[in-house]
Amino acid sequence: MLFNSRVFLFVFLPVVYFVFWRLSSRQLRYIWLTVAGYVFYSFWNYKFCALMAFSTLVSYAAGIGFLRFREGLRRRLCLIIPIVVDLSLLGFFKYFKFWNFAMSSGEWIASLWGMEGGSSLLWKFHLHSLLWNKDLLEGALLPVGISFYTFHTISYIVDSYRGTIKPTTNIFEFACYVALFPQLVAGPIVRFRQVENDLEHLDAANRCSGLDIGWSYFVIGLIKKVLIADTIAAVINAGLGSFSSLGTAGAWLCALGYTYQIYFDFSGYSDMAVGLAHMFGIRLPQNFNSPYKALDPSDFWRRWHISLSTCLRDYLYVPLGGNRSGMYRNLLITMLLGGIWHGANWTFLVWGGYHGALLMLYKRLGEPWDALPTLVRRAAMFLLSIIGWVIFRADSFTMAAQWLAKMFYPTSGYMFTGAVALAACIAVAAVIAHAAPNTFEMSHQWSPQVACALAAGLMCCLVMITGGQRSPFLYFQF
């Protein structure tokens, strides 16, 4: 079920909302939001609800274990075993099913050991033992949102172990946190401590204030997704479908288009998630802070997908040693793992390595970079991010190399249909992304004129939703 779908807007959301506010007790509201989350999740594949429930129970049991065992081996086992279980589930469904990725990676590793691309009988035996049924793996489905709810459960386990939070003994409160439908399938990645207070006072939530600010966030996010991101996607997807025929102008339009598409698509989802949570008395953290206004690589990652970058920092970079020892190594490892988190594809790994290299260069050359004028730094960082998105979007290294070559070496080629409309949409997106305040910088107390403009934007979105095809969010695939 998509936020920008008829069944969500006209059936699911109204029913969940009105029943929630008819319930008076906190426990009943936990149960109702948990049930709503599982119903919402089941629209993709109901079978995977059991997977999420299992992960929830394992992580809840770990929290109970921390309350019982204050120190020693049993407490450490309560940390290790649930994390291994969660990561094993994530690894199997997100990476192991990509047998082609494993096959090509394995053959490359084998060639490094002089096994000639896996020609050894022993190598083939081990590889086929590992990938025992490629037809099964090809047909396996990636449970939508598994990366995000796994981050939720692991962060809860680690924070409980560290003593950052006190584990809850209420199974329905924890199940509500994991299955909260606004942030279930594409974030933001919410730590328990960020919503714990709101969950504890869910029975005292203010319906009116939550509805006002919630609809404001939701409508702005819907406009970002439907009117901007989807419009851009409709043109550049067709253009990249005939990629080999593109010239320099077309390659730049596609690169710029995807740069704005992924931002407005994902930040639009995050805004909608924040707005929906507000409607139920829960405040979710900011996930985007005008990332294309960033002045340097570090600043970019303080602004882009904040919930992921802070999780990688707190649960990976800092435990590896952070800035204390092996800083460059830690940066590279963190960004490589951040890249491969998006999926089993070498381009994602290289994209993560690319940003890791940028961060390392900035650590080394930060002083001369910071001495440059603000406008130069902002423009240079935006250009570097465009190059990164080309690598991220490309289907292969060959495509990425050819795309970048077309961008930086004058090449003749055809101009795809809709290029003029795309240029106009990019211009609008650029003004909003580079000059306008983001949703967390707005007061959300609108004048009648602005309220009418938002209402008109909502009507346009509804017309496109009811008359067109559903358009999934980009980050559902990650």
What is the mean pLDDT, run by run of 10 residues, along the chain of 478 residues? 87 96 95 96 87 95 94 92 91 65 54 50 46 43 82 95 94 96 88 94 87 94 93 89 87 95 95 96 95 97 95 93 90 93 86 96 93 96 97 92 93 82 94 95 90 92 79 71
> CA 4 → CA 235, 249, 414, distances in Å?
19, 32, 34
Distance, CA of 154 to CA of 82 (rounded, Å): 8
| 320 residue type, one letter | L
Nearest to 170 by CA among 18, 29, 22: 29
> CA 272 → CA 29, 234, 453, distances in Å?
21, 21, 18
Q: Please indicate whether residue 342 is annotated as part of the active site.
A: yes
Query: In Å, how far from its chain's centre is CA 409?
Result: 33
Cβ contact 234:184 at 8 Å: no
Distance, CA of 252 to CA of 271 (rounded, Å): 28
Cβ contact 219:179 at 8 Å: no
Q: What is the pLDDT of residue 92?
A: 81
Q: What is the pLDDT of residue 276?
A: 96
Cβ contact 288:188 at 8 Å: no
In degrees and rounded to multiples of 5, residue 81 shows phi and psi of: -60, -50
Cβ contact 82:153 at 8 Å: yes
Cβ contact 140:471 at 8 Å: no
| 330 residue type, one letter | N
Q: Which of 152, 278, 305, 342 is catalytic?
A: 342
DSSP per-residue codes, 301-339 = HHHSSHHHHHHHIIIIIHHHTTTTS-HHHHHHHHHHHHH
Distance, CA of 45 to CA of 39 (rounded, Å): 10
> CA 305 → CA 311, 383, 471, distances in Å?
10, 18, 21
Q: What is the 3-state secondary structure (H, E, C) of the chain?
A: CCCCCHHHHHHHHHHHHHHHHHCCCHHHHHHHHHHHHHHHHHHHHHHHHHHHHHHHHHHHHHHHHHHHCCCCHHHHHHHHHHHHHHHHHHHHHHHHCCHHHHHHHHHHHHHHCCCCCCCCHHHHHHHHHHCCCHHHHHHCCCCCCHHHHHHHHHHHHHHHHHCCCCCCCCHHHHHHHHHCHHHCCCCCCCCHHHHHHHHHCHHHCCHHHHHHHHHHHHHHHHHHHHHHHHHHHHHHHHHHHCHHHECHHHHHHHHHHHHHHHHHHHHHHHHHHHHHHHHCCCCCCCCCCCHHHCCCHHHHHHHCCHHHHHHHHHHHHHHHCCCCCCHHHHHHHHHHHHHHCCCCCHHHHHHHHHHHHHHHHHHHHHHHHHCCCHHHHHHHHHHHHHHHHHHHHCCCHHHHHHHHHHHHCCCCCECCCCHHHHHHHHHHHHHHHHHCCCHHHCCCCCCHHHHHHHHHHHHHHHHHHHHCCCCCCHHHHC
Length of the chain: 478
Alpha-carbon dihedral angle through residues 286, 290, 296, 298, given to the nearest 10 degrees: 10
The alpha carbon dihedral of 395, 299, 312, 41 has a sign of negative
Give helix 146-162 / helix 73-91 axis angle, nearest 10°. Answer: 170
User: Tokens 């025929």 sit at which residue?
Assistant: 245
Q: What is the pLDDT of residue 143?
A: 79
Cβ contact 472:261 at 8 Å: no
206: DSSP letter? -
pTM of this structure: 0.89
The alpha carbon dihedral of 360, 304, 152, 174 has a sign of positive
Cβ contact 188:306 at 8 Å: yes
